[in-house]
Amino acid sequence: MADFSLDKIADLPTDLLIGGHAVAASDGGRFDVVDPATGEVITTVADGTVEDGIRAVDAAAAAAPWAATAPRERAEVLRRAFELMTARADELAHLIALENGKALPDARGETAYAAEFFRWYAEEAVRASGELATAPSGANRIMVVRQPVGIAVLVTPWNFPAAMATRKIGPALAAGCTVVLKPASDTPLTALLMAKILDDAGVPAGVVNVVPARRSGAVVSAMLHDPRVRKLSFTGSTEVGRILLKEAADQVVNCSMELGGNAPFVVFEDADLDAALEGAMTAKMRNGGEACTAANRFFVHADVADEFSRRLAERMSAMRVGPGIADDTQVGPLVNEDAVTKVTELVQGTIDAGGRIVVGGTRPDRPGYYYDPTVLTDVPPSAPILREEIFGPVAPIVTFTDEAEAIRLANDTEYGLVSYVYTRDLARGLRVSEAMESGMVGLNRGLVSDPAAPFGGTKQSGLGREGGHEGMLDYLESKYIALTW
């Protein structure tokens, strides 16, 4: 095992968690977890098999009495989990920075954000209210009760290994569901440590099971074809989401999908440029651009495009690139070699299409999976980089001349997760926000995520919502009882 330089993290779990026990994979397999800052192996983790996935479902089924636990008791468990995460925030942040590569400020922000889902759903657990009404005919009463949907399989990505887990585990446990978490292979350590925190908070054995696996497709498919599994919550690419939706259809499993994004960042000529630049740095460079909410396409009015581009390039070029766990790092490495290759190809494709590099556009000559913060201008609307999720520190800028063109360009994508709009004209801002084909809009704001708000997209960016009250409803079924008294 490599030197963590993290003395505060003790007894780091690296085995599967099934039924409250740390267990080896059924075939003894393990896989490497790599530090993206160096390319070196941090440690190895148990590599779950199809049999392990079904064992985890068995454990979740045996823990079904969790559904009958008093809502207040479930709430108190989640509240304790929030407090323990908060107490161990620095340890978690360092672990996230180590295995994911993100800079420590981002990792600390994620840890705080992740913990808030436990606090929010501790408060929501006691609010799964039903309904009682008189039928329009007057013949009977209509009673609606909400019950846990059942065993939930949760599949999370590597870019926010803590927050994407708590955003699913929190509402599932609040609703009374038991879960099997399949974390991303690049970042399993955070998920396993958080499972230990949940155990310390009093979550009963089998309520939360964690199965890291390199054989993700086979393991998740096996669980989705087990008739006891009634819920799938997935965060990841639209490509994989389509596959999982087809798999889930075989057993008609209830699905929540938070898929890819291609967020437009629209700057009108009357925008406060200082605020727009600040928002751009947040929307683009949070997690080094490796976020589904990252600003992917910058549409800037021709009257202010030169100034905006110049100032954005100045801000981007001044960012310090280095290992995520270094205190002075502002931009860490990308998660793996494939990520660097993709970003490199997208930038080169933009240059080939007529785009121009203002700053960046290169891979630093150093070990690890780095890419320099990059600003591209003169980007033609047909450039491939405007069609794909970049997932890196690259900002392509396209100019527009009027509101209608800005809306058309912004909506010219199969995705619809989030949009960003900057203007001083409130009427225009609201008008354009309503016209954006996305599930969320940041109006004069570069950050939209909030545990109290419904997070999700339209078009091929997903189904359902996470966060807010709606997030818990995704783990509840409404049962209608017709009654007379």
Does 5 have pLDDT greater than 60? no
For residue 446, what are the CA distances in angstroms to 263, 280, 285, 442? 11, 6, 10, 6
Closest among 75, 77, 45, 72 to 198, alpha carbons compared: 77
* Residue-level pLDDT at 456: 97
Q: How confident is the model at residue 136 (pLDDT cuts 50, 70, 90)?
A: very high
* Residue-level pLDDT at 7: 56
Q: What is the CA radius of gyration of the chain?
A: 23
**Range 330-343 average pLDDT:** 97
* Residue-level pLDDT at 464: 96
Does 421 have pLDDT greater than 90? yes
Residue 30's φ and ψ, nearest 5 degrees, are -140, 160
* Residue-level pLDDT at 8: 53
**Range 215-241 average pLDDT:** 97
Token couple for 441: 């809009």
Q: How confident is the model at residue 476 (pLDDT cuts 50, 70, 90)?
A: very high
pTM for the full predicted model? 0.96
* Residue-level pLDDT at 9: 45
Token couple for 104: 């420590």
pLDDT above 90 covers a percentage of the chain that reads 97
For residue 197, what are the CA distances in angstroms to 83, 308, 359, 482? 10, 45, 43, 43
Specify the residue for token string 């440590």: 193
**Range 12-19 average pLDDT:** 96
* Residue-level pLDDT at 12: 86
What tens digit of pLDDT does each residue of 71-87 get?
Answer: 999 999 999 999 999 99
Specify the residue for token string 């494939």: 338
Half-sphere exposure of 30 (CA within 13 A, CB side): 13
Token couple for 270: 């009357």
What tens digit of pLDDT does each residue of 257-274 get?
Answer: 999 999 999 999 999 999
Token couple for 380: 């033609």
Q: How confident is the model at residue 2 (pLDDT cuts 50, 70, 90)?
A: very low
Catalytic residues: 258, 292
CB 67 within 8 A of CB 146: no
* Residue-level pLDDT at 460: 97
What tens digit of pLDDT does each residue of 100-120 get?
Answer: 999 999 999 999 999 999 999
Half-sphere exposure of 410 (CA within 13 A, CB side): 32
Name 375's bridge partners.
Answer: 359, 395
**Range 362-369 average pLDDT:** 95
For residue 76, what are the CA distances in angstroms to 45, 73, 281? 31, 5, 38
Token couple for 80: 């304790």
Angle between helices 273-285 and 305-317 (to 10 degrees): 50
